[in-house]
Amino acid sequence: MVTKNQIKLVVSLKQKKYRSQHKLFVVEGEKMVNELLYSDCKPFRIFVNDPKLLEKFENAALVSSKVLGQMSNLAHPNGVLGVFYMMQEEEKVNPDWVVVLDTVRDPGNLGTIIRLCDWFGIQELVCSKDTVDCYNPKVLQATMGSIARVNITYADLDNYLKNTSLPVYGAYMDGDSIYDVQLPQKGVLVMGNEANGVSDEVGSYITAKISIPQFGGSTTESLNVATATGILLNEMRRG
Amino acid sequence: MVTKNQIKLVVSLKQKKYRSQHKLFVVEGEKMVNELLYSDCKPFRIFVNDPKLLEKFENAALVSSKVLGQMSNLAHPNGVLGVFYMMQEEEKVNPDWVVVLDTVRDPGNLGTIIRLCDWFGIQELVCSKDTVDCYNPKVLQATMGSIARVNITYADLDNYLKNTSLPVYGAYMDGDSIYDVQLPQKGVLVMGNEANGVSDEVGSYITAKISIPQFGGSTTESLNVATATGILLNEMRRG
């Protein structure tokens, strides 16, 4: 049985305030829900709108398409909606590289960066408090399930960077070429805001500015922050 | 004076059919329009909805906000709309690397890839005929003006790859690690569809399958095609 209060609760999770309050978040689609079910993520409840789907999702609750539509963040809900408990933030004892995001605003960018961290085995992603919420539905859609495998914390970067003993690399337009910099085994990589780059406050903790060289006399202003993160993580891991 | 027929023409450019017929396309926003005005792109006509903007765009036509809204592809039109002639497809005599896209469907991905080609000095981007139209407004928005600096052609890939004398590299999940492959000075890089990768037909022309290694026991299915293109172009250029 699904109570009205439960429906109300799930609908409320569209807002960050209620996600934080209940420590719950929503993902949609068979594939995404399955990925999380097979991860360390604990399910709160799964909802489906078709009895046939109960074979695939044993303990799911059957609701009408209308109710699923109310709960859904999609224009065209696709039959399966999972509510999961947020992962507990656990500080990794000894991460090798930490990625720090300074005010990344675009959900697609954050989602892609989480997926990249997962791909390149980055255990620790630290976001400034004004970076977009990682449980935002658009972020989750872009992570493709990687959300369960990367430890994401929201922190006061001033405080975080003041206390790290690792060298702090920052991505800048005018930094030293990554082809000339010998990246160490461990460090912090700071990526800045889409329009303004790394803020001055955070910039004061940077020990080395790095950049991705441009070729062929191009006058492109900058690379997309997610693409740049991918290139830098690849540089880090290729050794 | 702006005639009704001219307005009708600009509105029709929302459809690929009419863009191809008239060889015209639309970009929006002061920054994008300016980037194209300072490129090799020839303007057909610029439209603004505020007399003050006539100082910045000398030969622009002043229209009402209502008319600009009709012409615009944006939910919130931002005052400046430029109609430009499509670049002529010119075959580069001696490109070093050519990027080939096999059925890339997402406008944001194509836009990001065009921007990456610009950044890494790739002169030649060849798209399969079913790749999303590069003059699609969402593609243009993601290119950030790079559209004017990359030579983009739509071709029958079967025919194109049959006739190239360059080695053809394809991005695959199970290819050889790019860290172990010595990339030559010249070649073709084939990137596949978001969901299905490189098609079998195109795959028959691949001389070497390459892949980006995964780290830390990650089970991420794949990287986003635009991100993967960025990493591979960086590998190509870093030497």
**B188-201 mean pLDDT:** 96
Top pLDDT among B90 and A127 is at A127
Q: Is B105 exposed, middle or buried (0-12, 13-18, 19+ CB in 10 A)?
A: middle
Asked whether the beta carbons of residue A215 and residue B179 sit closer than 8 angstroms, the reply is no
Please tell me the predicted confidence (pLDDT) of residue B92.
62
Please tell me the predicted confidence (pLDDT) of residue A91.
64
Please tell me the predicted confidence (pLDDT) of residue A93.
65
Query: What domains can be seen in chain A, in order of their start residue?
Result: 4-85 (3.30.1330.30), 97-238 (3.40.1280.10)
Closest Cα in chain A to B180? A238
pLDDT band at B123 (very low <50, low <70, confident <90, very high): confident
Please tell me the predicted confidence (pLDDT) of residue B91.
64
Q: Which tokens hold the place of A180?
A: 């000339």
Q: Which among B215, B224, B238 is the nearest to A115, CB-wise?
A: B224
Q: What pTM does this model have?
A: 0.90
Q: What are phi and psi of B200, to 5 degrees?
A: -60, -40
Please tell me the predicted confidence (pLDDT) of residue B94.
72
Closest Cα in chain B to A118? B218
Res. A210: pLDDT tops 90: yes
Res. B219: pLDDT tops 80: no
pLDDT 10s digits, A87-128: 887 666 677 999 999 999 999 999 999 999 999 999 899 999
Please tell me the predicted confidence (pLDDT) of residue A50.
94
Asked whether the beta carbons of residue B218 and residue A149 sit closer than 8 angstroms, the reply is yes
pLDDT 10s digits, B14-67: 999 999 999 999 999 998 999 899 888 899 999 999 999 999 998 899 999 999
> How much is the mean pLDDT over chain B?
93
Report CA-CA distances (Å) from A69 to A10, A76, A188. Answer: 11, 8, 42
Q: Looking at the complex, report in whole angstroms how far the Cα of residue B101 sits from the nearest Cα belonging to chain A.
A: 18
Q: Which of A164-173, A227-236, B35-44 has the lowest mean pLDDT?
A: B35-44
pLDDT 10s digits, A8-26: 999 999 999 999 999 999 9
Asked whether the beta carbons of residue A146 and residue B220 sit closer than 8 angstroms, the reply is yes
Would you tell me how many other CB atoms lie within 10 Å of the CB of residue A23?
Answer: 13
pLDDT 10s digits, A54-95: 999 988 999 999 999 999 999 899 899 999 999 887 666 677
**A205-223 mean pLDDT:** 87
Distance CA A44, CA B184 (A): 52
Residue numbers in A near B217 (CB within 8 A):
121
pLDDT band at B142 (very low <50, low <70, confident <90, very high): confident
Residue numbers in B near A223 (CB within 8 A):
115-116, 119, 230
**A208-227 mean pLDDT:** 87
pLDDT 10s digits, A43-63: 999 999 999 999 999 889 999
Touching check for A119 and chain B: CB below 8 Å?
yes
Q: Looking at the complex, report in whole angstroms how far the Cα of residue B37 sits from the nearest Cα belonging to chain A.
A: 14
Buried b (16+ CB within 10 A) or exposed e, A194-228: eeebbbeebbebbeebbbbebeeebebebbbbbbb
Asked whether the beta carbons of residue A221 and residue B144 sit closer than 8 angstroms, the reply is yes
pLDDT band at A183 (very low <50, low <70, confident <90, very high): very high
pLDDT 10s digits, B156-184: 999 999 999 999 999 999 999 999 999 99
Q: Which among A215, A230, A237 is the nearest to B120, CB-wise?
A: A215
Please tell me the predicted confidence (pLDDT) of residue B218.
67
Please tell me the predicted confidence (pLDDT) of residue B203.
97
Res. A203: pLDDT tops 90: yes
Distance CA B160, CA A156 (A): 53
Q: What are phi and psi of B229, to 5 degrees?
A: -60, -45
Res. B93: pLDDT tops 70: no
Please tell me the predicted confidence (pLDDT) of residue A1.
77
Please tell me the predicted confidence (pLDDT) of residue B217.
74
Q: What is the DSSP string of chain B?
A: ---HHHHHHHHHTTSHHHHHHHTEEEEESHHHHHHHHTSSPPEEEEEESSTTHHHHSTTPEE--HHHHHHH-SSSS--SEEEEEEPPPP---SS-SEEEEESS---HHHHHHHHHHHHHTT--EEEEETTSPPTTSHHHHHHHTTGGGTSEEEEE-HHHHHHH--S-EEEEEEEEEETTT----SSEEEEE-BTTTBS-HHHHTT-SEEEEPPP-TT-------HHHHHHHHHHHHHH-
Name the B residues in 39-68 with CB < 8 Å from any A CB.
none
ipTM entry: 0.89
Please tell me the predicted confidence (pLDDT) of residue A92.
62
Q: Looking at the complex, report in whole angstroms how far the Cα of residue A96 sits from the nearest Cα belonging to chain B.
A: 11
Q: Which tokens hold the place of B6?
A: 């001219």
pLDDT 10s digits, A150-160: 999 999 999 99
Q: Which among A179, A226, A238 is the nearest to B227, CB-wise?
A: A226
Please tell me the predicted confidence (pLDDT) of residue B168.
98
| Contact status, residue B94 vs residue B81, Cβ threshold 8 Å | no
Touching check for A196 and chain B: CB below 8 Å?
no
Res. A7: pLDDT tops 90: yes
